[in-house]
Amino acid sequence: MTRKNDPSRSSKVHREFLAEAEEILERLRNDWADFEDQKHAGGEIDPVLINGLFRSAHSLKGLSGMFGIDGITDLSHHLEDLLDSLRLGRLSTNSPQAELIGGVVRLFGTVMSNLGDESEDVHMDEAIRELIGRLDLATASEVEEEESVLPCLLLDSTLMRALTEYEEHRLLENRRSQKNILLVEVAFEILSFDEGLSEISGSIREVGEVISTLPSPGAAADSQICFVLLVASDLDVPGMIGHIDFPQATVTAVPEEGGVSPLAANPVAMSPAASPAVASDEPQTEESTIIAASPKAPASSVEATAAEASAVVTQEVSDAKHPDSEERSAQGKDSPEFTSLRSVSDTVRVDIRKLNDLMNLVGELVMHRGSIGRTVRLLSNDPATARHGEDLGKVHKDLSRKLKDLQSSVLDLRLVPLRQILDKLSRVVRRLRREEDKDVALELHGVDTELDKLMVEELIDPLVHLVRNSFDHGIESVEERSAAGKPAQGRICIDAFQRGNHVVIQVSDDGRGIDPEQVCAKAEGMGIIQPGVELSEREILDLVFHPGLSTCTEVTGTSGRGVGMDVVRENIKEMGGIVTLESKRGEGTITSITLPVTLAIIQSLIVGVADQSYAIPLNAVMETLLIDRNEIQRSEGHELLNLRGEPLLLRRLADEFSLERSPDGEQVYVVVIGLGESRIGLIIDLLQGQQDTVLKPIQGPIREVRGISGATEIAEHGTVLVLDVAAIVEDSFRRRDRR
């Protein structure tokens, strides 16, 4: 178990688990409290409540399973079973077994508050085992009395067959509590039946329960659709007709076999009368059946029995759940009852949109700071106001510092560890291993590296794809591997680490690597490259990202269809990141994804062209140069610069965006931009400094503008467009190659 080896990791896992589990526990507690209230009030338990408890138990099971907290998974699984029995009426809500729910809920609280405390593990495990034993007993002693009541209702057999187990149970429950069972038949115009149906259902719910709604064939006209609503209510037929006040509806009572006593155990009617009679004739034979509507016992005595029985069980449960309670109080700890009420984790869950709003607000504050800065300069430059200017300047400086802190704190809120998705990849590999019968180990490093929440979500698909690629195409068969002198077990490794303002995620394998010849042959075959053209190693690897090209010759279920690497690159690009490939034949492949730590703030270089300002993401800027005008050389219609012996293709931003081109001065600014190996020099008029910028999408009918990836707001410049460097570089090369 990993949590034993690495306490820091385990406590972090627990914190994350608790952050979500506590909400579920809170719901369970509330629902259970309502449950008890309803029971003490002597009334029926609202089926909605049991369903709610059931759902909570189910969520908790899923959550704890994901985090590998086995005790809670087991316990919630058994709780789920118990609740399912209650829900379907196999067990009465009045039965002593139902009281176990409270015990389980309390034990959840105790276990959660002791998570990570290894000295408590043993006690917790014991308590869980003990309670699970009781739950097993409880669900094993289910009451089988469905048939004892149903047959005495003379329901149409087709209708009867259409009922789900749950609906059947509700029918029984209502029957048992002396409700009138009615059939409401009503026809609606097909075009508007949903409105009519919800209206009549709503009206019925005021005075009873709609057990089931079924379409029925008896429509009067072609344009109509007829429904039968199976209803339980205190009202009788005339009462119901009066209440719903629906002229088109007919209400009939469901006739009963033998007329008066609905609970008369007479198993004739619809279903083939075989065995079931026995159970209801002698309900007292099994202890657990006493409460579940023993047909002959008068209601009051049933209740008395229930109260007694449940009192006993409660006692037992509360004893059982703290086998260590004495020891604990000896240690001076809070009583478990008390701790379980307190919140164990101090985590708040926040909608990411709220964080975005906060981020926007901070951005606006930064803009205001900019205008204060300008005022400070104005005041300071005028001798009459210089003193005030100085004072304001100090305040401005303080404000700037605090704003910066605020900005980074808000940013920090968005960051989550990568573990969430890396763990998912382990599951993917496990599944692939089963399906494909290949022995591959997955290693994860740097799972605590943090990244913007929005990006983490977007990363799942690309990473799954890369891992599948490694699994399918990279790792060879065992025979191949041993022939190549490699260990039989293949290895896929995911490394995540932070490098400056970026996070790098590498997926590497020790497989066969990418075969350059095979890639070229395929690309030629598809007409992507001309035959006989010499390509650099990098250019060949770049072909893998071409839509439609996949190196695997056969198509497998998961990959090999040739849609993939291009999608991966597209997805990563949308997040402002890049994907690069390194591969050595026979040794393996490394795919690196480089992403900015957050989508929210990127460092940008602000440049000016023709009275406009543009932002260039700094991660795409290699360097900025100030060159003499006559250093620009012309060749075949495009401009070049000799940059340390290498030709650098130049492109004027004014031309790129069809802006007015200002005449070159003696010297011109060149910003060298690019991603990976392809780079160009962008000629601009002015350098206007670096800024933290918040990249925002453009809304409107056009939105997708080639060369623009979004916009940002900067104090001095207002709204500024952000360049899509990859597109501009790509277009520049394409333009050159066309000539």
Partner 1 sequence: MTVEKSNQQDRCVGDQGERARWEAIARAAADLQSEGEGEDRRSELLAFRLADESYAIPVEQVREIVRMRPITPVPRVPKEVIGVVSLRGEIVEVVDLRIRLGLASNRPVRHTRIIVLHGDSGKVTGLLVDEVTKVLRVSEDDLRPTASSESDVVHALYRRGAEFISLMDINRVLEL
> Which residue ranges make up the site for partner 1 (CB under 8 A)?
360, 363-364, 612, 656-659, 696-703, 705-708, 710-711, 713, 718-721
Distance in Å, CB of 707 to partner 1, minimum: 7
**Of 383 and 718, which CB lies nearer to partner 1 in the complex structure?**
718
Distance in Å, CB of 614 to partner 1, minimum: 10
Residues 6+ positions from 248 with CB-CB distance below 8 Å: 186, 187, 188
**Of 513 and 710, which CB lies nearer to partner 1 in the complex structure?**
710
Distance in Å, CB of 141 to partner 1, minimum: 54
Q: How far apart are CA 527 and CA 440, in angstroms?
A: 35
Q: Could you tell me the sign of the dihedral formed by the alpha carbons of 530, 536, 539, 543, in that order?
A: positive
Q: How far apart are CA 186 and CA 155, in angstroms?
A: 18
Distance in Å, CB of 367 to partner 1, minimum: 10
The DSSP 8-state label assigned to residue 696 in this structure reads B
Distance in Å, CB of 204 to partner 1, minimum: 25
Output the six-digit token pair for 67.
């985090």
* Amino acid letter for position 521: A
Distance in Å, CB of 39 to partner 1, minimum: 42
Distance in Å, CB of 592 to partner 1, minimum: 30
Residue 688 Cα to chain centre, angstroms? 41
Distance in Å, CB of 718 to partner 1, minimum: 5
Other CB atoms within a 10 A radius of the CB of residue 453 amount to: 18
Three-state SS sequence of 133-176: HHHHHHHHCCCCCHHHHHHHECCCHHHHHHCCHHHHHHHHHHHH
Output the six-digit token pair for 437.
């019968």
H or E segment to which residue 626 belongs: strand 621-628
**Of 696 and 735, which CB lies nearer to partner 1 in the complex structure?**
696
**Of 549 and 695, which CB lies nearer to partner 1 in the complex structure?**
695
Distance in Å, CB of 615 to partner 1, minimum: 11
**Of 545 and 657, which CB lies nearer to partner 1 in the complex structure?**
657
Q: How far apart are CA 265 and CA 8, in angstroms?
A: 63
**Of 199 and 286, which CB lies nearer to partner 1 in the complex structure?**
199
* Amino acid letter for position 531: P
Q: How far apart are CA 578 and CA 572, in angstroms?
A: 6
**Of 25 and 714, which CB lies nearer to partner 1 in the complex structure?**
714
- Residue 418 has, within 13 A of its CA and on its CB side, a CA count of 26
**Of 240 and 607, which CB lies nearer to partner 1 in the complex structure?**
607
**Of 34 and 713, which CB lies nearer to partner 1 in the complex structure?**
713
Q: How far apart are CA 572 and CA 462, in angstroms?
A: 8
**Of 42 and 700, which CB lies nearer to partner 1 in the complex structure?**
700
Residues 6+ positions from 667 with CB-CB distance below 8 Å: 626, 627, 628, 629
**Of 645 and 701, which CB lies nearer to partner 1 in the complex structure?**
701
Query: Between 7-40 and 100-113, two packed helices, what is the crossing angle to 10 degrees?
Result: 150
Distance in Å, CB of 269 to partner 1, minimum: 49
Tell me the CA end-to-end span of the chain in Å, nearest whole number.
63
Picking from 264, 281, 292, the residue whose alpha carbon sits closest to that of residue 143 is 292
Q: How far apart are CA 272 and CA 274, in angstroms?
A: 6
Distance in Å, CB of 712 to partner 1, minimum: 8
